[in-house]
Amino acid sequence: MTSYEFTGKSIKEAIAKACEELKVDEHLLEIEVLEESSKGFLGIVGHREAKIKVKKRDILKEVMEAESVPARTPRAKAAETAEVAQRRVEEIDQDDLESQVQEEPEQPSVDPTLFVDTAREVLKEILERMPVTAEIASDTVNGSVYLDIKADGSGLLIGKKGQTLDALQFIVNKIVNKANSPGNKVEIIVDTENYRERKKENLREIALKTSERAKKTHKPVPLEPMPASERRIIHMILAEDKDVYTKSYGEGQMRRLIVYPRKALTNKRRRR
């Protein structure tokens, strides 16, 4: 990959020059410091500028290497990347425990506007390599970066039960937040045709119906296996209902959520 050298009065200035000339955000560059700046004697004699060498990051290559997936053609690479990312999405279920849903740790505030351009550029490059012709609208919503893909055949980008869209979102989040500490990560939402909101409303309806059934029968009610992102939404919706609680069981793609009535648990304790 082509590398470029830039100089400046400081490392920061040299990086700014690189970003301006290459028309990319700092997050999308690999930066190697060749020389630190030196003021010299009295700021005049022996003055030396800072020098850096930069390369544009190959985003998809980074993801493939991180997951140990062999390099293929751009189309096959994009398809395999989506599959790998989806497997990782299935494995991640950080909100499965009731206590985690009800008592989420306080996170330092992060200004999402600082990451909008980078997130849009990352998603644009991924779509171009798939290849998909699309426009990406960007905004900040409730402290998150929101990317809306506008393209013909958006159904292909959504995939079965939103799996392709979830994979794209996972990849973009991973790349943009790669250098950020745990408390300073920004959430990036990737959407198309308002799929996220429509899906959330559908899950809300399922959650409420299941809750009513559990309370009426006084028995646990299992749901169909679903991705971690969908289980998390139901966890959070039902966390507001004081008459039920939720837990997840199973492994991988067979992991499912079960809604328990609290009244049944109370009655059982009384009988003891």
Q: Which tens digits make up the pLDDT trace of 135-184?
A: 999 999 888 999 999 987 677 788 887 888 888 998 999 888 887 777 77
pLDDT at 40: 58
The pair of structure tokens assigned to 65 is: 């290497």
pLDDT at 2: 82
Q: Compute the radius of gyration of the chain from its Cα atoms.
A: 24
Please give the average per-residue pLDDT across 229-252, as a whole number. 87
Residue 102 has pLDDT above 80, yes or no: no
Residue 53 has pLDDT above 60, yes or no: yes
Q: For residue 25, give every residue at least 6 positions away whose Cβ sits within 8 Å of its Cβ, in sequence order, or none.
A: 19, 117, 118, 121
Residue 3 has pLDDT above 60, yes or no: yes
Residue 224 has pLDDT above 80, yes or no: yes
Count of CB atoms within 10 A of residue 244's CB? 22
pLDDT at 104: 43
Q: Which is it for strands 3-8 and 256-261: parallel, antiparallel or unpaired? A: unpaired
Tell which wins on pLDDT, 126 or 40. Answer: 126
The pair of structure tokens assigned to 233 is: 């939404």
Per-residue b or e along 145-159, where b marks 16 or more CB atoms closer than 10 Å to that residue's CB:
bbbbbeeeebeebbe
The pTM assigned to this predicted structure is 0.56
Give a three-class secondary structure readout of 128-169.
Answer: HHCCCCCEEEEEEECCEEEEEEECCCHHHHHCHHHHHHHHHH
As a whole number of angstroms, the distance between CA 177 and CA 222 comes to: 35
As a whole number of angstroms, the distance between CA 96 and CA 100 comes to: 7
pLDDT over 90, % of the chain:
25
Count of CB atoms within 10 A of residue 196's CB? 20
Residue 71 has pLDDT above 50, yes or no: no
Please give the average per-residue pLDDT across 117-138, as a whole number. 88
Tell which wins on pLDDT, 98 or 188. Answer: 188
Please give the average per-residue pLDDT across 4-23, as a whole number. 89
pLDDT at 61: 59
Model confidence at 62, pLDDT cuts 50, 70, 90, reads low
Note the pLDDT tens digit of each residue in 74-89: 445 445 555 554 444 4
Residue 39 has pLDDT above 80, yes or no: no
Average pLDDT, the chain: 77
Residue 271 has pLDDT above 70, yes or no: no
pLDDT at 149: 93
* Contact of 256 with 222, CB cutoff 8 Å: yes
As a whole number of angstroms, the distance between CA 208 and CA 48 comes to: 67
pLDDT at 101: 39
